[in-house]
Amino acid sequence: MLSATRLGRRFGNRVAVDDLSLEIARGEIVALLGPNGAGKTTTLRLLSGLIAPSSGTIRIDGHPLDARRAAGMRSRVGFLPEAPGLWERLTVRQNLVTYARLYGLRSPSSAVDASLALFDLRDRAGDSCVQLSKGLKQRVALARTLLHDPEVVLLDEPTSGLDPESAREVRRLVVRLRDERRAVLISTHNLDEVERVADRVAVLEKRLIAIDTPEALRSRLFGRRVRIELRADLARYAAALQAQGAEVRVLEHGMSIAVDDAAAMSASALVKMLVSLGAEVEAVVPEEPSLEEVYLSLLRDQRSDTA
Amino acid sequence: MSRVRALLAKDLADLRQNPGVFVPAVLTSCIALALPFIVAIVVPAVFGEGLADSGDLDLAREMYRTRPAARALDADGAIQAWVFERFLVLLALSPVAASMSVAAYSVIGEKQARTLEPLLATPITTVELVAAKVLASFVPALTLAAAVFGCYLAGIQVFARPGVARTLLAPQPLAVMLLLTPLASLASLQLAVCASARANDARSAQQIGSLIVLPLGGLLVLQLMGAFELTAMTLMAMAIGLAALNAALMWISVVVFDRESILTRWK
């Protein structure tokens, strides 16, 4: 649905985004992760047609998004900037009606009515936006982003600064976008949010460092591991396993062992080995590194490669 | 065109919620309205001396010569008509003041309120955006100009000699209000919007937009000194010049409105 090929953007001598290629399918949510200044917002602005790339191409449903077509193509994209950007003195309805007209919707009023109902904003339609809480403003901004029924939705830190309840509400709305078969790219620093909503994760630091499902990234970086807890003699059994070629890290109450299902070091083989050595196994737990560990590890690797 | 209407309607709705922005303009207009009455009516009344007694009979003669409607007036009335006509240029400055802050704030304000990015993400083109922003300050300017002119005529009808108001309904004075004033306002507001798209803060944009006030002010002084006469020919030349200036300013505004730079470099 949305594809970027070898996308680059420079501001003078400064490279903001370099050689970025990614594709997002319909009904897919891709999370864009990266440190501050990594080029996330620039990437979203490029993909929304707000700014032009210095190099590379962007296609929406196969149609190129270039300077000549940008105005028309922008109606196929819904872009939520980091700030809600509502006209504060105007009411919720006035904000939405203005955007419905700007997008050239046939019946702005009924489109706004439908949107207000969808986002549960009907009872606040007549309130000026300055009266709204931050969470409600974000909900109105999301309603505005989706008012023209875009196929591609780009969200720049949609839950930033929201309380947990509002953030959860926004996440629920984001997940609904996948159900509606839209292609969604969401920029965020919230790794918990990524775990909850994203199908794939793209890690960016000017260049795309990695893009895959969270599970595949974990597996690629850390392999599969299990944590085995024993009643006693932890060090002795760890040494015995290491002698058999197992990659073992001794922990406070057990040991973390790399597992390879295709070889002798499967989890069941390891347990059998320990039991045969007389160990009393109390627990065997699959070990899953957090997405934060994966993310930090990717950035570390990238920086050491660059250095 | 529908997008221009949409953004214009939004800007006007926003202005209705913030009437305080017009307070300086109303004050300026009140001063502009009061000045000619002070010169033509209050001062002679205070000093007990008619305008015709002050040796300005040449002004009356000029009015009799150039304005058929003035021939029915006595010398005092003719001189009053001369004063009120000359001060029309000052009234032309009021709408400029009315909307200068609106125009100067038009693009910078959107940027500062962080409303520009979602707006630019819509299919609106730069021409549409600039046109809507200029119109959003031009409509209140014209409304105020019409109100000020109405008050001016009503005040003259009430306080000046009978028949003086009618002399202002002649083609030349009307051309000042209906042609020169809108064109000068439009040029000034376009200049401010253009500056608003480039300057870093609204104050700079406002100062640049106010530049148009200088030639108009100069025109007023030259007229009062008798060094310049607004004839049909000079009016037409000024109108053509201002129309050309407006067309050029529209083109320049669109060219200098750099979406990318506004989004990525402004803080």
CB B144 within 8 A of CB B110: no
CB B177 within 8 A of CB B94: no
Q: Nearest chain A residue to B4 by CA: give it.
A: A102
Q: Is B65 on the interface with A (CB under 8 A)?
A: no
- The lowest-confidence range among B75-89, B155-169, B241-255 is B75-89
- The lowest-confidence range among B64-73, B78-87, B237-246 is B64-73
The amino acid at residue A124 is R
Q: How confident is the model at residue B224 (pLDDT cuts 50, 70, 90)?
A: low
CB B164 within 8 A of CB B156: yes
Q: Does residue B267 register a pLDDT over 60?
A: no
pLDDT at residue B265, as a whole number: 66
Q: Does residue B45 register a pLDDT over 90?
A: no
Torsion (CA) B116, B122, B125, B130 in degrees, nearest 10: -30
Interface mutation target, options A54, A102, A155, chain B, most CBs of B under 10 Å: A102
pLDDT at residue A127, as a whole number: 94
Both tokens of A125, joined, read 């339609």
Q: Does residue B183 register a pLDDT over 80?
A: yes
- The lowest-confidence range among A106-110, A175-179, A227-231, B21-25 is A227-231
Question: What share of chain A in percent tops pLDDT 70?
Answer: 96
Give the whole-angstrom CA distance, residue A52 versus residue A44: 11
Give the whole-angstrom CA distance, residue B30 versus residue B26: 6
Of the candidates B14, B125, B260, the beta carbon closest to that of A87 is on B14
Sign, CA torsion A240/A243/A244/A250: positive
Q: Is B264 on the interface with A (CB under 8 A)?
A: yes
**Which residue, among B193, B199, B183, B197, has the nearest Cα to B95 in the 3D structure?**
B183
Interface mutation target, options B1, B5, B10, B265, chain A, most CBs of A under 10 Å: B10
Q: Does residue A18 register a pLDDT over 80?
A: yes
pLDDT at residue B118, as a whole number: 94
Q: Is B261 on the interface with A (CB under 8 A)?
A: no
* A-proximal residues of B, 108-147, CB under 8 Å: 113-125
Q: What is the pTM of this model?
A: 0.80
Annotated domain spans of chain A: 2-212, 222-287
Annotated domain spans of chain B: 2-265
Question: Alpha helices of B160-231 — where are they, by DSSP H?
Answer: 164-167, 171-175, 181-196, 202-209, 213-224
How many CA atoms does the CB half-sphere of B84 hold within 13 Å? 33
Residues 6+ apart with CB under 8 A from A50: A74, A79, B117, B120, B121, B259, B260, B263
A109-140: pLDDT as tens digits: 999 999 999 888 899 999 999 999 888 898 99
Strand pairing category for A2-11 and A55-60: antiparallel
Q: Do B2 and A104 touch (CB under 8 A)?
A: yes
Q: Do B121 and A81 touch (CB under 8 A)?
A: yes
Distances (CA, A) of A196 to A34, A84, A118, A192: 18, 23, 22, 6
End-to-end CA distance of chain A: 36
Q: Does residue B103 register a pLDDT over 70?
A: yes
Fold (topology level) of A2-212: Rossmann fold (3.40.50)
Q: What mean pLDDT comes out for the span A204-223?
A: 81
Both tokens of A206, joined, read 């000017």
pLDDT at residue A196, as a whole number: 85
pLDDT at residue B212, as a whole number: 66
- The lowest-confidence range among A72-86, B70-84, B145-159 is B70-84
Residue A148, min C-alpha distance to chain B (Å): 10
A248 beta partners: A257
Strands ordered across the beta sheet of A152-156: A77-80, A152-156, A183-187, A28-33, A200-205, A207-212
A147-197: pLDDT as tens digits: 999 999 999 998 887 888 888 888 888 899 999 999 999 998 888 888 888
Question: Alpha helices of A147-290 — where are they, by DSSP H?
Answer: 164-179, 191-197, 214-222, 234-243, 267-276
Q: How confident is the model at residue A65 (pLDDT cuts 50, 70, 90)?
A: confident
Give the whole-angstrom CA distance, residue B186 versus residue B145: 12
pLDDT at residue B191, as a whole number: 83
Fold (topology level) of A222-287: Alpha-Beta Plaits (3.30.70)
Torsion (CA) B101, B102, B107, B112 in degrees, nearest 10: 70
> How far is C-alpha B124 from the chain's CA centre?
29
Instruction: Write out chain A residues lying below 8 Å of B123, CB-based.
Output: 71-72, 74-75, 102-104
Write out the DSSP string of B108-159.
Answer: HHHHHTT-HHHHHTSS--HHHHHHHHHHHHHHHHHHHHHHHHHHHHHHHHHH
CB B145 within 8 A of CB B182: yes
pLDDT at residue B60, as a whole number: 67
B240-251: pLDDT as tens digits: 998 999 999 888
Of the candidates A71, A94, A141, the beta carbon closest to that of B123 is on A71
Instruction: Write out chain B residues lying below 8 Å of A45, CB-based.
Output: 263-264
Q: Does residue A221 register a pLDDT over 60?
A: yes
Q: Does residue B155 register a pLDDT over 90?
A: yes
Q: What mean pLDDT comes out for the span A264-270?
A: 74
Q: Is B20 on the interface with A (CB under 8 A)?
A: no
Give the whole-angstrom CA distance, residue A237 versus residue A233: 6
Q: Is A128 on the interface with B (CB under 8 A)?
A: yes
